[in-house]
Amino acid sequence: MSVLAITGGTGFVGSRLIALALEAGHQVRALARREQPAREGVTWVRGDLDAIAALAELCAGADAVIHVAGVVNAPDREGFARGNITGTANILAAAKTAGVRRFVHVSSLASREPQLSAYGWSKEEADKLVRGSGLDWTIVRPPAIYGPGDLEMLELFRVAKLGLALLPPGGRISVIEVGDLGRLLLALAAADRFPGEIDPDDGRDGGWTHPDFARAIGRAVGRRVLPLSLPKAVLMAGAYVDRALRGKKAKLTPDRVSYFCHPDWVASPAHRAPANLWTPQVETAQGLAATARWYRENKLL
């Protein structure tokens, strides 16, 4: 049994990670901005990545830190910098002060191409801090994450239910189910030493073309979909419309369009996790079906 300090524990990935950690018998210390219901095995620490005292409390007595929290959508470059760069610097400092050596950092494949978006730039700058921290670190760069509880891909499922898929122009992607990602993070937290960088995925060599993944979502919702690849200019116009209609709640932003339209978001085989440490367990068709089922059960689809 280990004591794990987890940031981002109330989010999509973090909440699944906590559930898996408890199932495995770990004790969890989790950072949360708001008061949380009491939960056996979890010590909630009130605060965010700017709260230095809260981060010190979070890391005290921990065997490992799993840094999941981050900003995926912000109105400007400064918002990404504050959430992803400054926040990472703060949790690294807290880990070092508390004497925690093991640090598992959740980054993104977007950090491979930092010139494409403020998001990718901020994640790569955070990665640099982790590499230079002197801790026993691992950087995990997930591709697109899906699974029950996810709201980022919900609109793809809703459009698929109408028999359509509105896609970026060309390109390939990798994906990973949230539980598989959580199991990898736990395996890394328990590893004695594993410095390096890992690009996990669902095990599909070469990833998915956008149309193939759209058809897989269609099968999950019981519809045959027509994939429509849209030019970048059209997607960018849609992003400005979305921002005008939904403000800060917009899902499609100019920053996201910039990296969505990049042709290669496939996990690198050179950065695969060792098979004796972790392999994906969730076959993507089954994972997408479970996701669609969760949406229906929660009256979202």
How many other CB atoms are found less than 10 A from the CB of residue 36?
14
Q: pLDDT, tens digit, for every residue of 253-262?
A: 888 888 888 9
Cα(161)–Cα(301) distance, integer angstroms: 8
Would you place residue 28 in the very low, low, confident or very high pLDDT band (cuts 50, 70, 90)? very high
Average pLDDT, the chain: 94
Q: pLDDT, tens digit, for every residue of 133-163?
A: 999 999 999 999 999 999 999 999 999 999 9
Amino acid at 278: W
Domain borders along the chain are 3-146+175-201+266-281
Q: pTM of the prediction?
A: 0.94
Q: pLDDT, tens digit, for every residue of 59-71?
A: 999 999 999 999 9
Sign of CA dihedral 16, 192, 130, 55: positive
What b-and-e string marks burial along 210-229, b requiring 16 or more CB atoms within 10 Å of the CB? bbebbbbbbebbebebebeb
Residue 23 has pLDDT above 80, yes or no: yes
Class of domain 3-146+175-201+266-281: alpha beta
Sign of CA dihedral 183, 188, 191, 194: positive
Adjacent-strand bridge partners of 64: 4, 102
Q: pLDDT, tens digit, for every residue of 236-289?
A: 887 777 777 677 676 778 888 888 889 999 999 999 999 999 999 999 999 999
Cα(236)–Cα(243) distance, integer angstroms: 11
Query: Among candidates 287, 100, 87, 103, which has minimal Cα distance to 181?
Result: 287
Contact criterion met (CB below 8 Å) for 85 and 122? yes
**Percent of residues, the chain, with pLDDT higher than 70:** 97
Amino acid at 257: V
**Percent of residues, the chain, with pLDDT higher than 90:** 83
Instruction: Give residue 195's pLDDT.
Output: 64
| DSSP of 200-238 | ---S-TT-EEHHHHHHHHHHHHT---EEEEPPHHHHHHH
Q: Give the full edge-to-edge strand order of the sheet including 208-209.
A: 208-209, 172-173, 264-265
